Protein backbone atom coordinates (compact mmCIF):
# COMPACT_ATOMS: atom_id res chain seq x y z
CA UNK A 1 0.00 0.00 0.00
CA UNK A 2 1.57 3.24 -1.05
CA UNK A 3 1.96 5.81 1.67
CA UNK A 4 3.74 9.12 1.53
CA UNK A 5 7.08 9.60 3.25
CA UNK A 6 5.34 11.67 5.93
CA UNK A 7 2.73 8.94 6.51
CA UNK A 8 5.45 6.29 6.67
CA UNK A 9 7.30 8.32 9.30
CA UNK A 10 4.13 8.75 11.39
CA UNK A 11 3.36 5.04 11.04
CA UNK A 12 6.90 4.09 12.12
CA UNK A 13 6.62 6.36 15.16
CA UNK A 14 3.21 4.93 16.01
CA UNK A 15 4.46 1.35 15.66
CA UNK A 16 7.40 2.09 17.97
CA UNK A 17 5.18 3.82 20.56
CA UNK A 18 2.65 1.00 20.51
CA UNK A 19 5.32 -1.70 20.75
CA UNK A 20 6.85 0.06 23.75
CA UNK A 21 3.45 0.51 25.40
CA UNK A 22 2.79 -3.21 24.88
CA UNK A 23 6.25 -3.94 26.31
CA UNK A 24 7.46 -5.59 23.12
CA UNK A 25 11.14 -4.78 23.12
CA UNK A 26 13.47 -4.64 20.12
CA UNK A 27 10.70 -5.14 17.57
CA UNK A 28 11.31 -4.09 13.99
CA UNK A 29 7.90 -3.78 12.36
CA UNK A 30 7.88 -4.21 8.59
CA UNK A 31 5.09 -1.71 8.02
CA UNK A 32 5.42 -1.90 4.25
CA UNK A 33 4.90 -5.68 4.28
CA UNK A 34 1.90 -5.41 6.59
CA UNK A 35 0.35 -2.62 4.50
CA UNK A 36 0.84 -4.67 1.32
CA UNK A 37 -0.71 -7.69 3.00
CA UNK A 38 -3.65 -5.62 4.25
CA UNK A 39 -4.21 -4.15 0.78
CA UNK A 40 -4.00 -7.54 -0.94
CA UNK A 41 -6.39 -9.25 1.48
CA UNK A 42 -8.86 -6.36 1.30
CA UNK A 43 -8.84 -6.54 -2.51
CA UNK A 44 -8.92 -10.34 -2.71
CA UNK A 45 -11.47 -11.11 0.00
CA UNK A 46 -13.38 -8.19 1.51
CA UNK A 47 -12.19 -4.94 3.08
CA UNK A 48 -12.56 -6.12 6.71
CA UNK A 49 -10.19 -9.00 5.91
CA UNK A 50 -7.26 -6.56 6.10
CA UNK A 51 -6.98 -6.17 9.89
CA UNK A 52 -7.96 -9.78 10.52
CA UNK A 53 -5.27 -11.03 8.13
CA UNK A 54 -2.52 -8.88 9.60
CA UNK A 55 -3.52 -9.91 13.12
CA UNK A 56 -3.45 -13.61 12.24
CA UNK A 57 -0.06 -13.27 10.53
CA UNK A 58 1.35 -11.59 13.63
CA UNK A 59 -0.20 -14.20 15.89
CA UNK A 60 1.18 -17.08 13.81
CA UNK A 61 4.61 -15.49 13.78
CA UNK A 62 4.49 -15.06 17.54
CA UNK A 63 3.55 -18.69 18.02
CA UNK A 64 6.39 -19.84 15.79
CA UNK A 65 9.03 -17.76 17.51
CA UNK A 66 7.82 -18.33 21.07
CA UNK A 67 7.97 -15.73 23.79
CA UNK A 68 9.37 -12.32 23.00
CA UNK A 69 12.44 -12.94 25.11
CA UNK A 70 13.14 -16.29 23.46
CA UNK A 71 13.16 -15.10 19.86
CA UNK A 72 15.71 -13.05 18.02
CA UNK A 73 15.01 -10.24 15.61
CA UNK A 74 16.01 -12.50 12.75
CA UNK A 75 13.70 -15.29 13.91
CA UNK A 76 10.82 -12.85 14.36
CA UNK A 77 11.35 -11.37 10.92
CA UNK A 78 11.56 -14.81 9.32
CA UNK A 79 8.39 -15.94 11.10
CA UNK A 80 6.46 -12.87 9.91
CA UNK A 81 7.70 -13.39 6.36
CA UNK A 82 6.70 -17.05 6.44
CA UNK A 83 3.21 -16.32 7.79
CA UNK A 84 2.75 -13.42 5.38
CA UNK A 85 3.74 -15.69 2.48
CA UNK A 86 0.99 -18.12 3.44
CA UNK A 87 -1.53 -15.26 3.65
CA UNK A 88 -0.43 -13.80 0.29
CA UNK A 89 -0.86 -17.26 -1.25
CA UNK A 90 -4.39 -17.55 0.08
CA UNK A 91 -5.19 -14.08 -1.25
CA UNK A 92 -4.38 -15.37 -4.73
CA UNK A 93 -7.28 -17.82 -4.35
CA UNK A 94 -9.76 -15.11 -3.38
CA UNK A 95 -12.40 -15.34 -0.70
CA UNK A 96 -13.77 -18.80 -1.43
CA UNK A 97 -10.92 -20.90 -2.77
CA UNK A 98 -7.59 -22.33 -1.84
CA UNK A 99 -6.46 -25.09 0.45
CA UNK A 100 -8.68 -24.03 3.36
CA UNK A 101 -11.86 -24.22 1.28
CA UNK A 102 -12.23 -27.89 2.29
CA UNK A 103 -11.38 -27.35 5.93
CA UNK A 104 -8.61 -29.49 7.41
CA UNK A 105 -8.90 -32.20 4.73
CA UNK A 106 -5.42 -31.76 3.26
CA UNK A 107 -3.51 -30.77 6.38
CA UNK A 108 -1.70 -32.62 9.10
CA UNK A 109 -4.33 -31.58 11.66
Sign of the torsion angle spanned by Cα atoms 103, 65, 22, 83: negative
Between residues 36 and 87, the one the model is more confident about: 36
Q: Is-above-0.75 flag for pTM?
A: no
DSSP 84-108: HHHHHHHHHT-TT-SGGGGTTTTS-
Rounded Cα distance between 60 and 54, Å, is: 10
Helix (H, G, I), strand (E, B) or coil at 19: helix
Q: What is the pLDDT of residue 106?
A: 52
Task: Write the pLDDT tens digit of every residue in 65-108.
Answer: 876 555 677 777 788 888 888 888 878 876 665 555 555 455 55
Amino acid sequence: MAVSDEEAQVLDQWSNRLAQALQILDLDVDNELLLDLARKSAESVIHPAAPVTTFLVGYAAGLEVGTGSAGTREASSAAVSKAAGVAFGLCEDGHDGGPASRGWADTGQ
